[in-house]
């Protein structure tokens, strides 16, 4: 250790050592920056940068070594052998080239440490080869322990610099350069301390240069390093200026306004779009303005609609919002303009403000709201139109069907019976068409609700099939109904809608089949998602259809071709409604067919088994003398044809009928007389049927009278009409056109059932 201290304090000039360290720090720092830039390049540019970094780092370490030697005074003149000196330069250059390549190839900590070890090994080789090239009067002896110490200490410092200090930031790169310089300096000074010079009398000659020449070479190397540093600094400044110019150009090309404020909320930069969105600021914006000053200009010009009448509160809310990490607000500007302003705080505490013109979006949203309101109004008008049309069509249709049914009870000639049959058939067709249109409207509007009641599936299937069994037999068709035991049971569902689908499919099968058979089968289907299903198959040997027709068959108003409508009739709505009903039930409706080969329609619905309900015994009150009593009926209907139809139908029963023309007369009649049943129309002048029903119920409650059964006998057949009737106090709803048998059944049984329930 004494040799090391003696070498540093006596044999070396501290000024040269300090200069050597400055050169080393500068060169290695430049190399590290070049390596950082090389990571962002590819191809020839990357290779050239690596070569430059290798040259500068090797040159810097070589220069550091020989600048330090210029400050070394062993007591005699020193000359430098050319070949060892050049060899030492080659060692420095090669080792740093290898180190740079390793760092860029694998930028992990392990590879950085390996690169540091290779670089220091090159420095050690350069040092001792360079020392072997020194020529002076005397002989050199070495202390091996100090040599080992110098190499080990240098490696430790290199490991610390490359493995711990090194990092991507400029400060870490500078720290790494200082650590590497200390590593080189430690090796140099410790190795010089391990050398002892014994004075002699002769100086070895050969191909050498003097210290003055070597000083000139070193000065040239220092100037080269300084020039490289200046060039790199200049190129970096140019690149940064170019990058800033491109960034500025990109900011000005942005469709949104952008402004950057520092940590004290002072304006730093902004783009052209920012001034376009805030024209009141275009002539006043300047670097250093606070955000409070900027919004003050807008307040002075009364630009902010939301701030009117509450400016101080609005400013406080706006400034408080900017304190959050991120904030977005929609700001209404005078002139019916809208801006979306987003503030986002940076890591350094600055604020980036982005303004987006959303005036068009707001106008579009307003237009959409208006369009929605118009659509809702149109939908309401459509619903009202459907309700009105249903009422207006059902009223005269009820007269046609009712009179035809009454006429059928009289004596007719064969020709008259044929004519009557045509009238009834046409009336039935009109009734089905009207029901299909209303069903479709309810399905599309989402207003159709499915029931979930227990019913006997086998009975429902047989009832649906029986409606068309006679038609099939009249055409000479074989008609089969097969129900598997597992399907001949009670289930949960909407029996009306299931029968509606089945009757539609069976009706089509009978309609489009001229010879052969029609069959309806019901059985369990394949499980779907682990749940059981029911499968209904309606097969026929009818006209069939092709694949193209199959794709559009379930569309509205579609049939196989135009001739179908002319030949068989129908609206083409039945299958569309049936498929939509099936989907509402959680099932599906599909078909298979070929032209002339018949068709098969398959309905699949979920299978929810249910227990058979426990039914109470029917209680029917009969007259004591065994004769049926006269039923006193009050009919309220403003339409004379409908009154006449009801009179003709009820003429077949033991009925005492009283007719009135509006709801007010019906209420007065109930107050003055005693009736067994009331048949009430819903739409009437003076007082409608719902109001009249409520008045009758209020009078019964006030007078303590027995509740009289009220039947809504009306052309208002929509679900909301039925619900309104029940809410008003009606007991039953019978839609026009109604079946004569159904009306007679109601008149015959409803009063007795009400009396029996009261007695119980």
How would residue 556 be classed by pLDDT, with cut points 50, 70 and 90? low
Highest mean pLDDT among 254-258, 434-438, 580-584, 694-698: 694-698
Instruction: Report pLDDT for 572.
Output: 53
Q: Taking 70 as the threshold, does the pLDDT of residue 620 lie above it?
A: no
435/312: higher pLDDT = 312
pLDDT above 70 coverage of the chain, percent: 87
Instruction: Report pLDDT for 561.
Output: 46
Task: Please compute the mean of the pLDDT values over residues 464-475 and round it to a whole number.
Answer: 87
Please give the Cα distance from 500 to 497 (Å, whole number): 5
- Per-residue pLDDT tens over the stretch 249-258: 777 888 888 9
Extract the tokens encoding 700. 């019964």
Task: Please compute the mean of the pLDDT values over residues 592-615 and round it to a whole number.
Answer: 87
Nearest-Å Rg of the Cα atoms of the chain is 52
Q: Taking 60 as the threshold, does the pLDDT of residue 449 lie above it?
A: yes
The answer to which of 304-318, 564-578, 638-652, 655-669 has the lowest mean pLDDT is 564-578
Q: Taking 60 as the threshold, does the pLDDT of residue 619 lie above it?
A: no
How would residue 44 be classed by pLDDT, with cut points 50, 70 and 90? confident
Instruction: Report pLDDT for 712.
Output: 93
Ramachandran angles phi, psi of 522, nearest 5°: -130, 125
202/277: higher pLDDT = 277
All residues at 6 or more sequence positions from 425 whose CB lies less than 8 Å from its CB, including other chains: none
Task: Answer yes or no: are the C-beta atoms of 355 and 278 closer than 8 Å.
Answer: yes
The answer to which of 307-316, 414-423, 434-443, 595-604 has the lowest mean pLDDT is 434-443
* DSSP 3-state of 744: helix
Instruction: Report pLDDT for 203.
Output: 55
514/760: higher pLDDT = 514
Q: E-assigned strands of 334-474?
A: 337-345, 351-357, 453-456
Q: Which of 264, 227, 261, 203 is nearest to 80 (CA)?
A: 203
Instruction: Report pLDDT for 484.
Output: 94
Q: Going by DSSP bridges, is the β-strand pair 677-680/631-636 parallel, antiparallel, or unpaired?
A: parallel
Q: Taking 90 as the threshold, does the pLDDT of residue 728 lie above it?
A: yes
Q: Taking 90 as the threshold, does the pLDDT of residue 679 lie above it?
A: yes
Task: Please compute the mean of the pLDDT values over residues 677-696 and round it to a whole number.
Answer: 93
* Three-state SS sequence of 153-204: HHHHHHHHHHHHHCCCCHHHHHHHHHHHHHHHHHHHHHHHHCEEEEECCCCC
Q: Taking 90 as the threshold, does the pLDDT of residue 613 lie above it?
A: no
Instruction: Report pLDDT for 146.
Output: 85
Highest mean pLDDT among 68-72, 102-106, 149-153, 283-287: 149-153
- Per-residue pLDDT tens over the stretch 636-660: 999 888 888 889 888 888 899 999 9
Please give the Cα distance from 595 to 597 (Å, whole number): 5
Q: Taking 70 as the threshold, does the pLDDT of residue 531 lie above it?
A: yes
Sign of the dihedral through C-alpha 197, 200, 204, 208: positive
Q: Taking 70 as the threshold, does the pLDDT of residue 580 lie above it?
A: yes
Instruction: Report pLDDT for 618.
Output: 45
Instruction: Report pLDDT for 447.
Output: 61
What is the chain's mean pLDDT, rounded?
83
Instruction: Report pLDDT for 616.
Output: 43
Q: Which of 743, 756, 757 is nearest to 635 (CA)?
A: 743
* DSSP 3-state of 341: strand
SS3 content of the chain, % helix, strand, coil (to 5): 60, 15, 25
The answer to which of 116-120, 150-154, 304-308, 738-742 has the lowest mean pLDDT is 738-742
Within the chain, how many helices (H) and strands (E) appear?
23, 22
Task: Please compute the mean of the pLDDT values over residues 70-92 and round it to a whole number.
Answer: 82
Instruction: Report pLDDT for 760.
Output: 56
- DSSP code, position 289: -
Kindly state the greatest CA–CA separation across the chain: 166
Instruction: Report pLDDT for 626.
Output: 46
Q: Which of 112, 103, 95 is nearest to 60 (CA)?
A: 95
Please give the Cα distance from 107 to 100 (Å, whole number): 10
Cα-based distances in Å from 247 to 40, 265, 270: 18, 22, 12
Q: Taking 80 as the threshold, does the pLDDT of residue 230 lie above it?
A: no
Element (H, E) at 631: strand 631-636
Angle at 717 between CA 715 and CA 723, to 5 degrees: 125
How would residue 142 be classed by pLDDT, with cut points 50, 70 and 90? confident
* DSSP 3-state of 38: helix
Q: Which residues pair with 522 in a beta bridge?
A: 483, 536
User: How many of the other CB atoms lie within 10 Å of CB of 37?
Assistant: 18
Task: Please compute the mean of the pLDDT values over residues 165-173 and round it to a whole number.
Answer: 82
How would residue 563 be classed by pLDDT, with cut points 50, 70 and 90? very low
Please give the Cα distance from 714 to 699 (Å, whole number): 23
What is the model's pTM?
A: 0.44
Instruction: Report pLDDT for 3.
Output: 65
Q: Taking 50 as the threshold, does the pLDDT of residue 567 lie above it?
A: no
Highest mean pLDDT among 65-79, 475-489, 494-508, 568-582: 475-489
- Per-residue pLDDT tens over the stretch 367-400: 999 888 888 887 777 766 766 676 677 777 777 7
Instruction: Report pLDDT for 606.
Output: 93
Please give the Cα distance from 603 to 592 (Å, whole number): 12
65/539: higher pLDDT = 539
Angle at 430 between CA 429 and CA 433, to 5 degrees: 85
Q: Which of 495, 435, 501 is nearest to 459 (CA)?
A: 495
Q: Taking 70 as the threshold, does the pLDDT of residue 617 lie above it?
A: no
* DSSP 3-state of 653: coil
Q: Which of 484, 502, 478, 481 is nearest to 598 (CA)?
A: 478
Highest mean pLDDT among 128-132, 340-344, 565-569, 749-753: 340-344
Task: Please compute the mean of the pLDDT values over residues 110-136 and round it to a whole number.
Answer: 86
Q: Taking 50 as the threshold, does the pLDDT of residue 46 lie above it?
A: yes
Nearest 10 degrees: Cα torsion 170, 171, 175, 180: 0
Q: Which residues pair with 459 in a beta bridge?
A: none
């Amino acid at each position: 250790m004494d040799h090391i201290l003696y070498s540093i304090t006596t044999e070396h000039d501290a000024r040269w050592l300090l200069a050597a360290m400055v050169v080393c720090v500068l060169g290695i720092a430049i190399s590290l920056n070049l390596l950082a830039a090389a990571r962002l390049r590819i191809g020839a540019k990357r290779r050239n940068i690596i070569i430059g970094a290798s040259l500068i780092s090797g040159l810097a370490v070589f220069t550091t070594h020989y600048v330090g030697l210029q400050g070394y005074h062993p007591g005699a003149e020193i000359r430098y052998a050319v070949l060892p000196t050049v060899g030492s330069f080659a060692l420095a250059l090669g080792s740093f080239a290898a180190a740079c390549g390793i760092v860029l190839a694998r930028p992990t900590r392990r590879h950085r440490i390996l690169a540091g070890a290779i670089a220091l090994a090159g420095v050690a080789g350069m040092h001792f080869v360079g020392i072997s090239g020194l020529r002076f009067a005397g002989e050199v002896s070495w202390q091996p322990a100090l040599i080992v110490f110098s190499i080990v200490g240098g490696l430790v410092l290199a490991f610390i610099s490359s493995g711990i200090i090194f990092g991507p930031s400029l400060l870490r790169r500078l720290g790494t350069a200082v650590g590497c310089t200390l590593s080189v300096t430690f090796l140099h000074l410790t190795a010089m301390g391990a050398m002892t010079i014994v004075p002699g009398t002769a100086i070895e000659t050969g191909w050498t240069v003097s210290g003055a020449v070597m000083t000139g070479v070193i000065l040239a190397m220092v100037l080269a390093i300084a020039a490289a540093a200046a060039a790199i600094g200049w190129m970096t400044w140019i690149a940064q200026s170019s990058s800033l110019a491109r960034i500025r150009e990109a900011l000005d090309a942005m469709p949104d306004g952008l402004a950057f404020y520092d940590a004290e909320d002072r304006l730093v930069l902004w783009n052209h779009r920012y001034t376009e969105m805030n024209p009141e600021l275009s002539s006043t914006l300047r670097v250093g303005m606070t955000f409070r000053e900027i919004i003050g200009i807008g307040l002075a010009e009364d630009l902010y609609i939301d701030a009117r009448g509450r400016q101080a509160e609005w400013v406080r809310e706006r400034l408080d919002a900017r304190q959050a990490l991120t904030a977005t607000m929609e700001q209404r500007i005078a002139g019916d303009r809208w801006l979306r302003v987003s503030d986002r705080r940076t890591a350094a505490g600055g604020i980036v403000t982005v303004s987006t013109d959303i005036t068009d979006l707001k106008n579009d949203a307003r237009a959409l709201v208006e369009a929605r309101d118009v659509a809702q109004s149109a939908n309401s008008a459509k619903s009202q139109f459907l309700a009105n049309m249903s009422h207006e069509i059902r009223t005269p249709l009820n007269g046609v069907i009712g009179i035809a049914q009454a006429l059928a009870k009289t004596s007719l000639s064969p020709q008259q019976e044929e004519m009557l049959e045509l009238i009834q058939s046409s009336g039935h067709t009109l009734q089905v068409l009207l029901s299909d249109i209303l069903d479709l409207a309810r399905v599309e509007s989402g207003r159709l609700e499915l029931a979930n009641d227990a019913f006997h599936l086998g009975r429902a299937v047989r009832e649906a099939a029986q409606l068309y069994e006679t038609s099939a037999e009249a055409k000479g068709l074989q008609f089969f109904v097969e129900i598997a035991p597992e399907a001949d049971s009670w289930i949960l569902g909407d029996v009306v809608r299931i029968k509606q689908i089945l009757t539609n499919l069976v009706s089509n099968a009978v309609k489009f089949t001229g010879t052969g058979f029609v069959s309806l089968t019901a059985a369990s289907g394949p499980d779907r998602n682990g749940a059981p299903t029911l499968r209904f198959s309606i097969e026929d040997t009818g006209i069939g259809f092709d694949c193209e027709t199959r794709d559009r068959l379930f569309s509205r108003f579609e049939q196989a071709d135009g001739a179908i409508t002319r030949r068989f009739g129908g609206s083409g709505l039945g299958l569309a409604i049936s498929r939509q009903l099936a989907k509402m039930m959680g099932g599906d409706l599909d078909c298979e067919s070929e032209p002339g080969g018949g068709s098969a329609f398959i309905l699949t619905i979920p299978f929810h088994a249910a227990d058979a309900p426990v039914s109470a015994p029917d209680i029917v009150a009969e007259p004591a003398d065994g004769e049926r009593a006269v039923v006193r009926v009050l009919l309220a209907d403003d339409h004379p044809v409908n009154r006449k139809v009801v009179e003709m139908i009820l003429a077949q029963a033991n009925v005492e009928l009283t007719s009135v023309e509006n709801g007010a007369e019906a209420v007065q009649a109930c107050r003055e007389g005693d009736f067994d049943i009331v048949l009430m129309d819903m739409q009437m002048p003076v007082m409608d049927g719902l109001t009249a029903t409520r008045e009758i119920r209020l009078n019964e409650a006030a007078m303590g009278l027995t509740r009289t059964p009220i039947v809504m006998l009306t052309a208002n057949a929509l679900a909301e009409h039925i619900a309104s009737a029940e809410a008003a106090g009606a007991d039953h709803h019978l839609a026009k056109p109604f079946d004569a048998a159904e009306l007679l059944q109601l008149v015959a049984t409803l009063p007795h059932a009400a009396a029996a329930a009261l007695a119980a």
